[in-house]
Amino acid sequence: MSTFYAYTSPASGHLFPMVPGFLALQDRGHTVHLRTAPKHVDAVRAAGLRDVVGVDPRILGIPATDYEVSNPRERLTRGLEDLMKRGPYEMAQFRDDVAALQPDVLLTDMNAYGAVVAAEATGLPWASIQPTLLAYPTDEVPPFGFGLKPIAGPVGRMRNRLMNRLMVSVYSKAMMPGINRLRADAGLAPLPDAIEHVIRPDRLIVLTGEPLEYPRTGLPDMFRHVGPQIWEPEEDAPGWLLEDGDPWVLVTCSTEYQGDETLARAAIEALRDEPVRVVVTLADAHGADLPTAPNARVERFVPHGHVLDRAAAVVCHGGMGIVQKSVTAGVPLAVVPFGRDQPEVARRVSECGAGVMLPSKKLTPERLRVAVREAIARRPGAEAAGARLRASGGPDRFADEAEELLGDRAALSAVA
């Protein structure tokens, strides 16, 4: 069979959705070499993937610091700058591994910019993997990132066209200096804008689908939506979760720290007198000073799947991982986006009927209490959205798209 080399950023929210597809490729007889966050190496090996190695530890020394600024444009620039700083270390490890392993196909996390550039420079067939919504601008959808409500008809198309042009300019100014420095180091020509960067791979594999993705026509054939890929490290459900009592509300913070412990504080206050039990998972915000309540408990991590089986609702920041897990399970959400892609994800949750969105600038315990009540009332909509999302694909669809790249390798070999 064939050899695939995969490289991810150290973010859990990017790694976890890729694991099911990598396992599907291995189950088909292929060899998959994965480079990812060192802290998850053992868990991914335990899931069955045989060759898993941590990324260069120097990458972990460059944290995301976008939460330190409040202006949206500054947040975008700061976040991209942090990712670009990781690029030289990613590129060096990527080159060394490819030389040693001689893979047939390369699979890169879209946020590992050094790996993305190194993959293109090899000349091998490769795909960039996007574990969030497709950001490609068309007149049919609002500009990505603002969380704007869709507007039908000519007025909406005009708004989308004008704002998409503006957003391409903003993203290009923030992204392209760093990307073109990496490209120069790799011996590649500079690119004029962010769109040219997005369309460089042979495939862009998007790990979601309708109803979270808006329907649209005329997308380049290289974009392949493969549906949600649900995975998390396997752990037994804790005993306290299995006890009889009121339904649970799961409250989650980002796995890549962004200062969203304010959501945890507001949720505990909002739900202390509601007929629910609350479990707060803080992830990288663990240790934050939080209020207490008789119906609330705080954990660094609890396998979300176990909670979702017993949950009335989810309160979250709008990370794509928890949103897709919740929608797939038919559990309604109250989404409070803080930044990054979260306003857009929150809007899609609201538009497909799977929950409600509450801007972080309007977050208070009182407003969050109302939002959770409204989300719980939308359970039928969440279940209907979940059925559509489950039907949009899965690990086998991912493996099909990755295997299609082997045909590109065969074509290259025939030409050579």
- In the 8-state DSSP scheme, what is residue 392? T
Q: How many domains does the chain have?
A: 2
- Whether 198 is in a domain gets the answer yes
Contact 117, 186 (CB under 8 A): yes
Smallest CA-to-CA distance from 96 within 39, 55, 37 is with: 55
- In this structure, the answer to whether residues 204 and 284 fall within a common structural domain is no
Q: Using only the alpha carbons of the chain, give its radius of gyration.
A: 21
Q: How many CB atoms sit inside 10 A of residue 177's CB?
A: 13
Contacts of 173 (CB under 8 A, 6+ apart): none
Res 259: pLDDT: 72
What is the rounded CA–CA span in Å between residue 31 and residue 97? 14
Instruction: For residues 352 and 268, state if they share a domain.
Output: yes
Name the H helices within 123-219.
153-185, 194-198
Instruction: Note down the domain range covering 93.
Output: 3-229+394-415
Identify whether residues 204 and 76 lie together within a single domain.
yes
How does DSSP assign 229-276, residue by residue? -------PPPHHHHSSSSPEEEEE--SS--STHHHHHHHHHHHTTSSS
- Check whether residue 221 and residue 271 sit in a common domain: no
Same domain as 134, residue 79:
yes
Do 80 and 224 fall into the same domain? yes
**Omega within 30 of 0 (cis) for the link into 395:** no
Q: What is the pLDDT of residue 257?
A: 67
For residues 70 and 219, membership in a common domain is answered with yes
Structural domain includes residue 221: yes
Number of H helices, E strands in the chain: 16, 13
The per-residue pLDDT for 410 is: 60
- 73 and 205 housed in the same domain: yes
How much is the pLDDT for 258? 65
In this structure, the answer to whether residues 257 and 205 fall within a common structural domain is no
CB atoms within 10 A of CB 282: 22
pLDDT on residue 62: 87
Judgement on whether residues 184 and 62 belong to the same structural domain of the protein: yes
| Contacting residues for 362 by C-beta, under 8 A, at least 6 apart | none
CATH number for 401: 3.40.50.2000
Is 241:279 a contact under the CB 8 Å cutoff?
yes
Whole-angstrom Cα distance, residue 358 to residue 346? Answer: 8
Closest alpha carbon to 148 in 317, 319, 345: 345
In sign, the C-alpha dihedral spanning 212, 214, 216, 222 is negative
CA gap 6, 399 in Å, rounded? 13
Residue-level pLDDT, tens digit, the chain, 416 residues: 899 999 999 988 899 999 999 999 999 999 999 999 999 999 999 999 999 999 999 999 988 787 776 776 777 778 788 888 999 999 999 999 999 999 999 999 999 999 999 999 999 999 999 999 998 999 999 988 888 999 999 999 999 999 999 889 988 988 999 999 999 999 999 999 999 999 999 999 999 999 999 998 889 999 999 999 999 998 888 999 999 999 999 999 877 766 778 999 999 999 999 999 999 998 765 666 888 999 999 998 888 999 999 999 999 999 999 999 999 999 999 999 988 789 999 999 999 999 999 999 999 999 999 999 999 999 999 999 999 999 999 999 999 999 999 986 665 555 45
Does residue 234 form part of some domain? Answer: no
At residue 412, the pLDDT reads 54
CB atoms within 10 A of CB 321: 27
Structure tokens at 133: 């919504």
Query: Measured between alpha carbons, how far is residue 66 from residues 18, 70, 77 in Å?
Result: 24, 8, 8
Domain shared by 69 and 197, yes or no: yes
Strands of the sheet containing 51-54, edge to edge, are 51-54, 31-36, 3-7, 105-109, 126-130, 203-206, 223-225
Same domain assignment for residues 136 and 264: no
